[in-house]
Structure 1
Amino acid sequence: MTDTAEKTAGTNTDLAVHAETNTVSVIYDRDEDGDTKPAAGLDESNLPNYDDAETKRVLRKVDYRLVPMLMILYLICFVDKGNIGNAKVAGMNKDLGLTDAQYNLALMIFFIPYTLFEIPSNIVLKLIRPSWWLAILLISWGTVMTLHGIVQNSGGLIAVRFMLGLAEAGFFPAAAYLLGEWYCRFELQRRMSMLFVSASLSGAFSGLLGFALELMDGVGGLKGWRWIFIIEGIFTAVVGVILPWALPDNPETASFLTPAEKLFIQQRLQQDSGTSSGHLQTNEKFQWKYIRDTLKDWRIWFTIFIFWGNTVTVYSFTFTAPTIILELGYTAAKAQLLTIPIYVTGAIFSVVIAWFADRRRTRWPFIVIPYTFSLVGFVGIMATPKERYPGVVYFWLFFIPGGVYAAVATLVSWVSNNLSPTWKRAVGVATSIMIGNMGGIVGTNIYIAKEAPNYWTGYGISLAFLVNAIACTFILRHSWSRENERRDAISEEEVFATYTEQELLELGDRSPLYRYVL
């Protein structure tokens, strides 16, 4: 057996990686003064050390190759998902003769396959190359998006929205899972937040593209709203074709890393279990118990309730924001453009919150604070007379994406941080996102046209889901804190007398050595 080791910056432990078993053992224990004591029977010769500079260098290589690609894909995903709101402003509903009920049905039908297909998609993701699976998804939804541009009636629109939900379903849980395969727990949210920067900016891009492509009205005998779908769909499919050569799958097969760098990343992930003596495996084979354990974990269901604070509000807002601005007295073209600064502000806020969350090494406050920010925005909108103060209403709109995008980025990081081993994380993240996205079914039906421009039902329901999300965050924080305290009271001698090393590996986050992130 060949062993290698790393000195883990910022922890109290140095670790050895066993190449044959793909597990990690503690080779040094450090006291509070920083003094080290070798583990019994360990040969200290020829063990490599990795300092902070080396860690930053390797992670920077990964950042440059992985994060921008995922950002582009997530931007495309959200633009394609939300551009129907821009098409509505550009005249789609009038040309297709859609009633308000038919339009809302077209929005809602998207979320049925979108939610149901996420767990199966992440299972497929673990069985084939992620880049190939994501390429299949992109080509599929790009094709369907193009078909939006040739529909002739409400039935055709509903059909293509259903197929779009099916094709897009697997992307976000796949992206969240992929980031967890490359980064340790307190490196994750800053990278995760970049996806939500893309989500925020997608609103800006949708407005800008909607404005530009609407100017193609009459080209080829097609209305401008049709070109919004056609051009964006073709671009998505082209990106899907090149994806297998552009997106790295995992550290083990990354061509841009040296063998030593690949091993270094694997070492860091294997020991990142939240405890100085933790064990964690990363290459376990699929077993049905991982799905069973995930679905039986009540905390996963509470993360879903928190997720609804995002999906109910953000999807309803994305589809309705151009209309809300239009009803404040602006022209259709200006309504498209005025969405841009709102989403740019949301992107900036997401990055700031993520930086603080990773820096503070905690999650729950950075869900509560952003959701409260959005809550204030809804209260402000409801309290402001729309006819007298349209500029003030527009100001309050900035609060909504700024809060909900930042909060859900923290939540997805929190879920990923607290699930192990990797199969449970893949299924758990997909479950949280899958059922969480069912909030979109609610969100697409709460803005009732006859209530314009006040939309009391839409604003009120969004407010209620935000309050519920904040309450559930406090409950989860308390539960995980109590569990950490219980495990702290168990000695390592007692743990190793009760469990074998393999049993601890299989227990994952249920191991007495595992510590949850709060």
Structure 2
Amino acid sequence: MAIIVWSKAKAPSPSNGEGSLSDSSSGTPTDKKANVSVEAFPLAETVADQNYWWFKKVKLDPNAVATQPSVYDDPDVAKYYQPRDDYENLHRFDPSARWTWKEEWAVVRKVDVKILIFACVAFMALELDRANLSQALTDNFLTDLHMNTNDYNLGNTVFKLSFLCAELPSQLVSKWIGPDRWIPMQMILWSVVAASQYGLAGRTSFLTCRALLAILQGGFIPDMVLYLSYFYTSRELPIRLSIWWTFMSVADILASFIAFGILHMRGLNGKSGWRWLFLIEGIFTGIIGIAAFFLMPPSPTQTASKLRGRKGWFTEREETIIVTRALRDDPSKGSMHNRQPITPKLLYKSLSDYHLWPIYLIGLTFQLPMTPPQTYLTLSLRSLGFDTFQTNLLVIPSQVGHIITMLGITFLSDYIGKLAIAGIIGQIWALPFLASLYIIDSTTANKWTIWAITTLLLSFPNTHAVQVGWTSRNSNTVRSRTVSAAMYNMFCQAQGIIGSNVYREDDKPRYRRGNRALVAVNSANIVIYLGVSVYYKWVNKRRDNIWNSWTDEEKEAYVLTTKDEGNKRLDFRFAY
């Protein structure tokens, strides 16, 4: 869903640029100097199913026009949706441009290679540094620091709370100076803290490092989501995000193998293996952070540099395709430039956008049933009798399953066009395995049975990538998209804080009280998804009734004079 494509035979031109999508409170003039005239160039028929350069499920003529219909096809309507004058890609925006499927697939493939691959590598670095605590646990980490599982829970709580608190401030800084500058700075700073864990001495230093690491890592995920949205359309972004998130699981798989080797260094220079693990992986992140300064261009039209080449990564034709297809898909992407800060007024507008809070609620609860089993996976496997190195290898199958099911559910949600249904499928998957953990006595059952149940549970079809894309699509302004990405992730972190305290020391070893609560939350999630779907469907139907009752003149008058912004516009429809 997005801005409704509509047209008008003839409409008077606004004299002062009113009705543009620019945020009027940004302090930058919004009147347009350029007059866009769109002739009757051919357009492609609307393609209901997404086509990917690696998998084209709808047979299309590669030489046929790929340009999809948009509000820019009627010159009398197009002028109300023009990008702001200081939009960094304005010089490559051409509503009259047409391109073939062959050109589009080639351009998207090039963006995937140049932009997405490094984004995935950067995410792997984040995951290695925030999740290697799990591998450290298998090397007597708690014993060496004279701590117990409650201290471990507290460390996870401190980490997630600090991560949560840093999300929005980090996103605001990113929008102000640009994610291409802020993300590399983040990575280098947190790599220093990550490597410093080599010198942990006890509970206090452990908690301090977890807090510092989270503060510096907080915001990385929404920062990168915002950055990727500059290059992809709303239909393409969820798929790319699912690929991006699968690299988190790839990192976890690699971490197990890396830990298998590094933890054998226990005793080297009289130090524990987990100390070498923190040091080596922290140094690796620092190297990736330095590389990020050179491998993250500010925008599709700003790729030229000494290391990226004097001519940049894309030709003028490719830049025109990238920019134009992004704005044709979502005109709101031209409402701010990539170095424009979010003012307090714009921040308030974004935070008070109640239409996005249903998705935030989903973010708070949808992963909660799986969080405690995931957090305690290595500790649980050790308690079942598996040794250090068996444990690190036995976590791999759940990560592989997670990759397969996340990609599968993302493609399915795109195919059926029902985002909430995809979420329900994930919750239904988890329910029987959660019930089994509650019913079966893990102290007497075969350890391989418990491992199999836990592995299948943690392989559930995670719709996190779908929901990040869902939040982005339903924002409909750059400032709202900036804030909503952080807000959604903050609610996910809040879920992590709750999940880190479900399994308690006095509930060991079966955690029956905790598992009973997880089954209840899992069941409630199904109802929440249904409620969110009904809400968005109701809002869309209400707007359809109003919009379709208007004449062309009334629609034009609304677009020209409305003070509604973002997803509150009556010509916008929510995805669900």
TM-score of the two chains, using structure 2 as the length reference: 0.79
* C-alpha distance in 2 between matches for 1:185 and 1:49: 19
Superposed displacement of residue 61, structure 1: 0.9
2:393 is the alignment partner of 1:337: yes
In structure 2, relative to structure 1, the CA distance for the partners of 1:427 and 1:21 (3 Å cut) is farther
Greater CA drift, 64-73 or 330-339: 64-73
1:300-351 per-residue CA deviation (whole Å, 9 max, x = no partner) reads 3322221123453454334311111222221121011100111111011111
Distance in 1 between residues matched to 2:273 and 2:133, nearest whole Å: 13
Quote the residue 2:417 is aligned against: 361
Distance in 2 separating the partners of 1:314 and 1:179: 28
> In the alignment, what sits opposite 2:23?
none
* Correspondences of 1:209-220 after superposition (within 5 Å): 209-220=258-269
What is residue 30 of structure 2 aligned with on the other side? Answer: none
Q: Quick one: structure 1 residues 297 and 492, their matched pair in 2 at CA, closer, same or farther if it must change by over 3 Å?
A: farther
Change (3 A) 1:492 1:66: farther
Query: Whole-Å Cα distance in 1 between the matches of residues 270 and 278 of structure 2?
Result: 15
Which of 459, 478, 484 is the matching residue for 1:428?
Answer: 484
* CA distance, structure 1, for counterparts of residue 227 and residue 485 of structure 2: 11
1:394 corresponds to 2:443: no
- Supply the AA of the counterpart residue of 2:207: I
Cα distance change of structure 1 residues 415 and 14 upon mapping to structure 2, 3 Å threshold: closer
Where in structure 2 are there 5+ consecutive unaligned residues? Answer: 1-33, 48-67, 84-93, 304-311
For 1:444 and 1:245, locate their aligned partners in 2 and report how far apart those are by CA, in whole Å.
Answer: 37
8 Å CA contact retained: 2:198, 2:279: yes
Paired AA for residue 484 in structure 2: G
Matches within 5 A, 1:114-193: 114-193=163-242
Distance in 2, matches of 1:384 and 1:203, equals: 28
After superposition, give the CA deviation of every residue in 1:16-54 in whole Å (9 maximum; x if it has no partner): 489x989459xxxxxxxxxxxxxxxxxxx9943223222
Partner of 2:575: 517
In the other structure, the counterpart of 2:539 is 483
CA distance in structure 2 between the partners assigned to 1:159 and 1:310 by the alignment: 29
Matched, 1:283 2:327: no
**CA contact under 8 A between 1:373 and 1:403: conserved in structure 2?**
yes
Q: Which residue of 1 aligns with 2:501?
A: 445
Tell me which of 307, 314, 319 is aligned to 1:257.
314
- Match in the other structure for 2:327: 270
Structure 1 residue 176: Cα displacement? 1.8
Match of 1:10 among 24, 35, 46: 46
- Output the amino acid matched with 1:454: R
Question: 2:89 is matched with which residue?
Answer: none
Give matches, 1:287-326, under 5 Å. 287-326=343-382
Deviations 1:201-235 (A, max 9, x none): 33322322222111011122211011111111111
Q: Is the contact between residue 384 and residue 392 of structure 1 (CA under 8 Å) also seen in structure 2?
A: no
Tell me by how many angstroms 1:58 deviates. Answer: 1.1
Distance 1:324 1:495 in 2: 64
Q: Name the CA distance, whole Å, in 2 between partners of 1:235 and 1:324.
A: 29
2:565 is the alignment partner of 1:507: yes
Aligned counterparts of 2:491 and 2:95: Cα–Cα separation in 1? 49
The partner residue of 2:433 within 359, 372, 377 is 377
Separation in 2, partners of 1:163, 1:447:
25
Counterpart of 2:385 in structure 1: which amino acid? G
- How far off its partner does 1:394 sit? 1.4
1:29 is matched with none
In the other structure, the counterpart of 1:493 is 552
Deviations 1:433-455 (A, max 9, x none): 11331112111122223433312
Task: Indicate if the aligned counterparts of 1:138 and 1:237 stay in contact, CA closer than 8 A.
Answer: yes
Gaps of 5+ in 1: 26-44
CA distance in 2, matches of 1:279, 1:169: 26
Comparing 479-488 and 314-323, the one that deviates more: 314-323
- How far residue 485 of structure 1 moved from its aligned partner, in angstroms, is 1.4
What does 1:221-240 correspond to in 2, within 5 Å? 221-240=270-289
Which letter does structure 1 place at the counterpart of 2:428?
Answer: T
Q: Quick one: distance in 1 between partners of 2:520 and 2:394?
A: 27
- What is aligned with 1:470? 526
Closer, same or farther in 2 for the Cα pair 1:155/1:376, shift >3 Å?
A: same
What SS class does the counterpart of residue 147 from structure 2 fall into? coil
What's the offset of the Cα at 1:503? 4.5
Which amino acid is the alignment partner of residue 10 of structure 1?
Answer: T
User: 2:279 is matched by which residue type in structure 1?
Assistant: I
C-alpha separation in 1, matches of 2:418 and 2:365: 20
SS, match of residue 486 in structure 2: helix
Deviation for aligned residue 1:112: 1.8
Q: Distance between the aligned counterparts of 1:228 and 1:314, measured in 2? A: 26
Secondary structure of the structure 2 residue equivalent to 1:348? helix
The residue aligned with 2:86 is none
Deviation of 1:497 after TM superposition, in Å, equals 4.3
Please show how residues 88-103 of structure 1 align to structure 2 within 5 Å.
88-103=137-152
Matching residue of 1:247: 296
Per-residue Cα deviation, 1:222-254 (whole angstroms, up to 9, x for no partner): 110111111111111111011011123322323
Residue 403 of structure 1 is matched in structure 2 by 460
Taking the aligned partners of 2:146 and 2:203, their CA distance within structure 1 comes to 8
| Aligned position for 2:245 | 196
Contact 1:290–1:427 under 8 Å retained in 2:
no
Match of 1:68 in 2: 117
What one-letter code is carried by the residue in structure 1 that aligns with 2:334?
A: Q
Shift of 1:389: 2.8
Distance 2:354 2:482 in 1: 17
The alpha-carbon distance between structure 1 residues 217 and 492, as it changes in their structure 2 partners (threshold 3 A), is: farther
8 Å contact from structure 1 (residues 148, 229) kept in 2:
yes
Opposite residue 421 of structure 1, the aligned amino acid is: T
Q: CA deviation at 1:166?
A: 0.2
Paired letter, 1:343: Q
In 2, the alpha carbon distance for the partners of 1:297 and 1:14 equals 25
Which is further off, 197-206 or 214-223? 197-206
Q: Which structure is higher in strand share? A: 1
